[in-house]
A and B are shown apart, each in its own frame.
Chain A
């Protein structure tokens, strides 16, 4: 699998270190969040902040996930691809916490309200669709399934290209004012997709 140059023995430990970095980088902010809430450091009512913080984290992890393959390719650093799975799963974890915070803390598990909001608010529907796709990708992320599913696995996991666009769109429509920040994220998503346009094109044809 690895396309590393023979003799470049530093690549494997570097990839392992980066992998550890991904786990720590995604976990530590969550621990900080937990402590900060308990200490009341997020203000009188941190629900909206919490939802935003978790959502932003999920989008950043999503962009990082999409960065891995083209970077590994252009650096001839195949080991780097080991970062994709942990990044993708952490993205799913953050997106799930984002979604749960909205369900439990914002809407107070009022199911008729939740149902109404999902149908009535396009930006929530966009976010929910993106989360459902991430859920499908997370469930099928086990290496054993990758072998078993073969080509259909690739077809399914190409949904990430759609997820990133949906997530940025969801962000854009959710903000109260100021479009600059969502525009920057959408721009980054488009750049990342353009960078791997051959893969995207192939994936589109596979349908």
Chain B
């Protein structure tokens, strides 16, 4: 992993960072297996350099971007965000990246762009979960995700290229991934190769697999339980051993309600989960 140059911000005092070794060994990246340590074990050979990202669809200037060049040229900043997994555990991670909204402006979105569709690399030779349905947990690949245009343009939404000051390890979605801090972690699609601006709500991987369990919006919401467990609280993975893990209440919009609740005013969030 290479060191990155970025603007740091003063971290919020109430946030305790999840230690780096835990951030990079506890991952969901089913392309490399469904166990939490599988991605760290099986992804190390993933060829992330060179890497291109295609931006297309409802834009006036579609283009293919060299991600490693982009990292040097675009201004990077550190964002320390809470990360809440739909499985009811959470971390606090110092991401390095840039705002998705500002990035998308470069391609001049048309007035018809209402949603943004993302796609992960599809390469069964490098990704054992894509070769074998059993290893990949039955997910249809490539992994796809989506955001509404206003969610994508929100300043909290970033494309991350690093964590803890260095480029991303493959298990965390190298070289470029999405981070939307008020949504469940599975929205943060990894190792992105394509971003397409579209008119209609795009399909999303977990919603296709189990629509009654995972919605398109996937906003962190303590009031809406997952059918198989409560979302009212979460296990925070911080410093310390197995027995020091504490349960803490889950915050609406993962604590970012002040900034983002307005995006959903008038919407029934129990229905649009």
Contacts and interface: CB of A to CB of B under 8 A. Distances in A.
B134 A180 contact: yes
A178 B228 contact: no
Interface stretch (B57-65, B151-159, B240-248, B259-267): B240-248
Interface in A98-130: 105-108, 110, 113, 116-117, 120-121, 123
Contact of A44 (B23, B35, B139): B23
B36 A43 contact: yes
Given A105-B242, A105-B245, A179-B138, A45 B209 contact: no
A108 B242 CA distance: 11
B236 to A, nearest CB: 10
A45 B245 contact: yes
B25 A44 contact: yes
A177 B237 contact: no
B137 A48 contact: no
A47 interface: yes
Given A46-B242, A49-B35, A178-B34, A108 B138 contact: no
A48 B247 contact: no
B54 interface: no
Given A105-B242, A120-B225, A173-B228, A45 B138 contact: no
Size class of the contact patch on chain B: 35 or more
A120 B242 CA distance: 27
Interface in A34-52: 37, 40, 42-49
A107 B245 CA distance: 10
Contacts of A176: 34, 87, 137
Given A37-B242, A47-B242, A107 B34 contact: no
A174 interface: yes
A108 B235 contact: yes
B138 A48 contact: no
A176 B87 CA distance: 9
A107 B34 CA distance: 22
B59 to A, nearest CB: 33
Contacts of A108: 235, 245-247
B176 to A, nearest CB: 23
Contact of B37 (A43, A121, A174, A178): A43
Contacts of A123: 228
Given A42-B37, A178-B137, 7 more contacts: A44-B21, A108-B235, A113-B230, A120-B225, A173-B228, A177-B210, A178-B34
